[in-house]
Amino acid sequence: MEAKERIEELRKIIEYHSKKYYDEDKPEISDYEYDTLMNELKKLEKENPEYITKDSPTQKVGGHVREDFTKVTHEVPLQSLQDVFSFEELYDFDKRIKEKADEFDEKFNYCVETKIDGLSCAIKYENGILVQGATRGDGIVGEEITPNVKTIKTIPHKLKEPINITVRGEVFISKGDFEKLNEEREILGEPLFANARNAAAGSLRQLDSKITAKRPLDIYIFNVQKIEGKEFNSHWEELNYLESLGFNVVPFRKLCHNMKEVISAIEEIGENRENLTFGIDGAVVKVDNLKFREELGSTFKVPKWAIAYKYPPEKKETILKDIICQVGRTGVITPMAVLEPVKVAGSTISKTTLHNEDFIKEKDLKIGDHVIIQKQGDVIPEVVDVLKDKRDGTEKDFEMPKVCPVCGAPAIREEGEAAVRCTGIECSAKALRNIAHFASKDGMNIDGLGYKIVEQLLENKLIKDIADIYSLTVEDIASLRKNGKKFAENLVNAISESKNRDLENLISAFGIRHVGKKLAKVLAKKYGTLENLMNATAFDLTTKDDIGEVIAESICNFFKENQTLDLINRLKEAGVNMSHLQEVQIDDRFEGKTFVLTGTLSKYSRGEASDIIEKFGGKTSGSVSKKTDYVLAGEDAGSKLDKAQKLGVTVLSEEEFEKMIK
């Protein structure tokens, strides 16, 4: 392939992945893979300068401004950094700086800082009061996110001096908070974030600041962009001043007098990165002398006085001593590699995930194998290769368990899925997920019994499974909070009220695989009592209810489990309703009509709107077709609205819908 063709191909690939990373916060490749592509493009452009264009990814900052945000033009550009991957390249950088220092007769030091893996933003203060926050965007124009910035607890709303200043910082989510955030999302059935950086970026770029406020965002400030009434000689002075104003300043920073000290600082960061509470994607080396920085200048994209060192992925050989299985809180059984301890990228690795059964088969892994593991940045270490030539015949094959290693319930892998799952509803490993779902709005709708409270109840051993909810006392719950009696009384009342919920709530609350709220409603109406549903065969379900074989089998298998039968008996004893409460249909104005709901409604949840439609004899569907009569569209309606307009389906606003139901 000719250079020009490869350059054009690389630009398309990089633009695609830049959009996924910067704009959609959904990366598909690792930072290392992205950097490799970018470096290849830089090399080709350097060798063929006639093909360099202004719109090349090498000539601009990666992000774009979303149309639904107000645009902010930065008074001082928020530039990117040139990346290097070896100490030789650092010495080349140092050589260039020294040559310029001789030319300008300047003395200088370097400042080395951790390169925090987050989202860069500018924060502006007038008379010491926070007035604006903005994302980096394309470096020149960003997105205004002032309400979101104000929700971050470590950003002061008022400084210790009434000064006009704009600072730059990196918004991030700590490693521990990221794990908790994804764990909670997994339990609540929400899509997981790819990594902490994208979780932070997605949280900060929310149109609703209430969502941002719920996310554990933090920030480290690392630069003065603009300041009035003060002058500094060095970046080091600036950082100390920022700290005195009340900012959370980048924690690891070292003043170095030469490149040898710079490399020592970089190695120190690398060795201790495992102990850092936040993720990093390298180390930043900056000229400390501010006057010399001005003389060095910048390109359109990067300053000539700074550079980012990216830690290369490190590979080590070790032995796969065993494969054990862990049960996650959603019931997924994950094989884990037990390794001969080995130090990789600053941390000792003795265990890592093997993802699933397919991964083990693809790698042809056997217990006793010599394997290569890799750890790039702060990513979980992974087995990347097997040294088959070192096998001596003592290696053993591994098989996934047929029963849950925690509770003994059957472990199944459904067709088309990679995961093996525990089916036991009383499995202690799944307790948090099962109880949180049982109490959720899609389940028994127990107001006040959210994820955090369930977690506290389990940690304090006040409950161990779903049925234990109905044995809780005011005293039990009040013990979780200081002055928590009123909260406890309300929660006990809410738990008691939930006993009278409809059968459809109970079916949905069980969390049967493939059975959501909508199907639970159909089953409750069809069978009337839980006992009737329990006695239904797979044949009954598929022929009478137009349910697929996989779902029918899932329902039948669930009600065969001893753990399920035990739970149902205990719920009966607690007085939980197990019958369908007959609904009164108001009239039949929507008889034979099919609605599709899309977007966010201001006055109703989708569930509430669906209930209203059904009370008037109509039904709802999840997809738009020629058979759809109406599409009820709220804010941010997406592809369903587009399809409805193409098909000529009647689109209703919320106001029009309200007129129809009056």
Tokens of 547: 């349910």
Beta-ladder partners of 597:
632
Q: What is the dihedral of CA 491, 212, 518, 657, to 10 degrees?
A: 110
| Residue located via tokens 């002032």 | 146
The residue type found at 654 is: E
User: How many other C-beta atoms lie within 10 A of the C-beta of residue 253?
Assistant: 18
Q: Is there a catalytic annotation at residue 115?
A: yes
| CB-CB contact of 338 with 398 (8 Å) | no
Cα separation, 460 vs 26, in Å, equals: 37
Amino acid (1-letter code) at residue 200:
A
Amino acid at 18: S
Contact present, 470 and 479 (Cβ < 8 Å): no
Which ranges of 465-579 would DSSP assign to H, the alpha helix?
474-478, 485-498, 503-509, 517-527, 530-535, 538-544, 549-560, 562-574
Q: 400 with 413: CB under 8 angstroms?
A: yes
Q: Where are the alpha helices (DSSP H) in 288-348?
A: 290-296
Catalytic residue among 42, 60, 95, 115: 115
Cβ-contact 222, 84 below 8 angstroms: no
Characterize the bridge pairing of strands 110-116 and 280-287: antiparallel
**Across the chain, which distance is largest between two alpha carbons, in Å?**
90
Residue type, 582: Q
What are the CB-based long-range contacts (under 8 Å, 24+) for 37-45? 37/10, 37/13, 38/14, 38/83, 39/83, 39/85, 40/10, 41/7, 41/10, 41/11, 41/14, 44/3, 44/6, 44/7, 44/10, 45/7
Contacts of 461 (CB under 8 A, 6+ apart): none
Cβ(109)–Cβ(289) under 8 Å? yes
What is d(CA 395, CA 382) in angstroms, rounded to the nearest whole number? 20
Residue with tokens 């994820």: 451
Pick from 205, 208, 215, 213: nearest CA to 66: 205
Contact 495, 446 (CB under 8 A): yes
d(CA 218, CA 30): 23
Contact 323, 351 (CB under 8 A): no
Euclidean distance between CA atoms 510 and 563, whole angstroms? 12
The residue among 343, 340, 342 whose CA lies nearest residue 270 is 343
The b-or-e profile of 267-299 (16+ CB within 10 A means b, else e) is: eebbeebeebebbbbbbbbbbbbbebbeebeee
Closest CA to 194 of 79, 24, 439: 24
- The string over 307-335, giving b where at least 16 C-beta atoms fall within 10 Å of a residue's C-beta and e elsewhere, is bbbbbebeebebbbbebebebbbbbbbbb
Residue the block writes with tokens 């603009």: 226
Catalytic residue positions, numbered: 115
